[in-house]
Structure 1
Amino acid sequence: MFDIFEIFGKFSYFGIFLVLIGINASPILMPPSWIILTSFYLLDPTLNVVILAVVGATAATLGRFILKQISVLFRRFIAEEQKTNLDVIGEYLNQKKYGYAIASFLFGATPLPSNMLFVAYGLMRAKNLGIYVGFWFGRTISYIVMIYFGDAVLTPFLEIFEDRLTGILLIDGAGIGLIVLFASVNWTLLITQRKLKFVKPKIWRF
């Protein structure tokens, strides 16, 4: 991992931009991008915090756009019942003026893993500019905070997950669990009758 910082760090903001695109375009087995961004800053404190956050947020948004486009391809493997369920929540968010923007902002402004959110967007075939605008603003704010308090936030986090691979797997597992939970909600019933009911998610066709 240190080799990545050393190699791409030589290219300053552009190198960081490339690393963040790659990390955010991958659905699993990648560390949270705020850890990478904060690590770059701790290695080179001469970087401007605001510029670094804007570069990171732009790269993260572009990477998530790529991830969403890739995820659309996997829709063909989803059971018809689950496609209908996903389309219901997609149409509901489309009817809300800032539905997608608010959802993306909330994920972007917190340390919550957003990879599975964009996988869900891809499976829903979501097409809304608010997805990216909300996420970009949320990520910019969260990155500024994370970078500014880098030592106070990063060190305890890495101590909790001394084995970084274990930490990454736990975070990805939590994200996958959220997708399964998301797919288990009967969105038609929840939206039309305000009743929460869970169904067994028949996700894959084979």
Structure 2
Amino acid sequence: MDIFEIFSEFSYLGIFLVLIGVNTAPILMPPSWIILTSFYLLDPSLNIVLLAMVGATGATLGRLFLKKISGLFRKFVGEEQKSNLDIIGEYLNQKKYGYVIASFLFGATPLPSNMLFIAYGLMRAKSLSIYVGFWFGRTISYVMMIYFGDTVLRPFFEIFEDRLTGILLIDGAGIGAIILFASINWTVLITQKKLKFVKPKIWRI
């Protein structure tokens, strides 16, 4: 709460900076909607729509940094997985609204998006629509989560009395999802509409 009080002194600018930092980190960070809801509960005079837009902008900028950082680790990815990720990247590039729809649908949920942008970084995705779709999706989801914040936040903390445990479980699920994503044989899925997997070895170590 001390951290929230410190940054709340800077109003929307402080919230913006917090969201950039949280979304640049790959793991061990609470979901952004919890942070925005906490700021709003601390200061109900904040405008919900403006707060959501500021939060979405900070989150999108932070995820841009995370994607760029993740791209630096591409050299450690196994050649089979690297080729596999390139295939899904090329497929999305061929679709006019591929990236914007994918990012919007993911951004419109309260689920953490760190693993999505790590995958984008490993795929070397460069489309600007990634951020456009994500921003709009996050803005919508943040408005809803902030508006119903107190109703949603209390059950979440009751389920995870140890907040670190909740964060670790969410990150664990995200890591599992990215491993599954990288292990799907996208060539077979896209061309033959069949679900097959490649070796689950992701890193060349």
Q: TM-score, normalised by structure 2?
A: 0.99
User: What is the deviation of 1:199?
Assistant: 2.2
Equivalent residue for 2:96? Answer: 97
Equivalent residue for 1:147? Answer: 146
Equivalent residue for 1:116? Answer: 115
User: What is the deviation of 1:198?
Assistant: 1.6
Equivalent residue for 2:130? Answer: 131
4+ residue runs of structure 1 moved beyond 6 angstroms? none
1:166-205 equivalences in 2 (<5 Å): 166-205=165-204
RMSD of aligned residue pairs (Cα, Å): 0.6
The gaps in structure 2 that reach 5 residues or longer are none
Equivalent residue for 1:82? Answer: 81
User: What is the deviation of 1:142?
Assistant: 0.4
Distance 1:43 1:15 in 2: 14
Distance 1:204 1:115 in 2: 18
Q: How many residues align?
A: 205
User: What is the deviation of 1:166?
Assistant: 0.1
Amino acid at match of 1:12: S
SS at match of 2:53: helix
Distance 1:177 1:115 in 2: 12
Equivalent residue for 1:4? Answer: 3
User: What is the deviation of 1:201?
Assistant: 2.0
Amino acid at match of 2:100: A
Distance 2:41 2:27 in 1: 25
Distance 2:112 2:59 in 1: 12
Equivalent residue for 2:30? Answer: 31
Amino acid at match of 1:197: K
Distance 1:138 1:163 in 2: 29
1:65 aligns with 2:53: no
Distance 2:2 2:136 in 1: 30
The superposition leaves residues 171-193 of structure 1 with CA deviations (integer Å, 9 ceiling, x where unpaired) of 00000000011011000111111
The superposition leaves residues 97-140 of structure 1 with CA deviations (integer Å, 9 ceiling, x where unpaired) of 11111111111100112100000000000010110000000000
Distance 2:180 2:79 in 1: 18
Distance 1:183 1:103 in 2: 16
Distance 1:205 1:151 in 2: 45
Query: Identity across aligned pairs (percent)?
Result: 82
Equivalent residue for 2:41? Answer: 42
Distance 2:180 2:129 in 1: 24
SS at match of 1:162: coil
Amino acid at match of 1:7: I
Amino acid at match of 1:73: L
The superposition leaves residues 61-110 of structure 1 with CA deviations (integer Å, 9 ceiling, x where unpaired) of 00000000000000010111111000000000000011111111111100
Q: TM-score, normalised by structure 1?
A: 0.98
SS at match of 1:152: helix
SS at match of 2:133: helix
